[in-house]
Amino acid sequence: MIDISKKGDVFTIKFTRNDVSDEFIDKLLTKFKLEELLKKSRLTEKQAWELSEEIKENWWRQNKDWILKKAGISNIESNS
């Protein structure tokens, strides 16, 4: 059973170990931390979009050979 209560500005969530997985808790805490960071961010939406595109491009550049190999795709000339 999951119990949620609120007292003033404080929420309390109680649950047993059987109610949620460790993975779920990790993801939930990461989400909370991310939300807190976003509140403090001074990035505009456009800057955030550009940053995300740069990160994706860099990730693909670093991982494309491995992914294509795992997919059984080889000898592909790519401009990306």
State the pLDDT at residue 38: 85
Sign of torsion, CA 40 44 46 47?
Answer: negative
From first to last of the 80 residues of the chain, give the pLDDT tens digit: 889 999 999 999 999 989 999 999 999 999 999 999 988 989 898 999 999 999 999 999 999 999 999 899 876 655 55
Indicate whether this model's pTM tops 0.75.
Answer: no
- Judge residue 20's burial from the number of C-beta atoms within 10 Å of its C-beta, 0-12 exposed, 13-18 middle, 19 or more buried: middle
Q: Are 13 and 4 in contact, with CB atoms under 8 Å apart?
A: yes
Q: Are 6 and 14 in contact, with CB atoms under 8 Å apart?
A: no
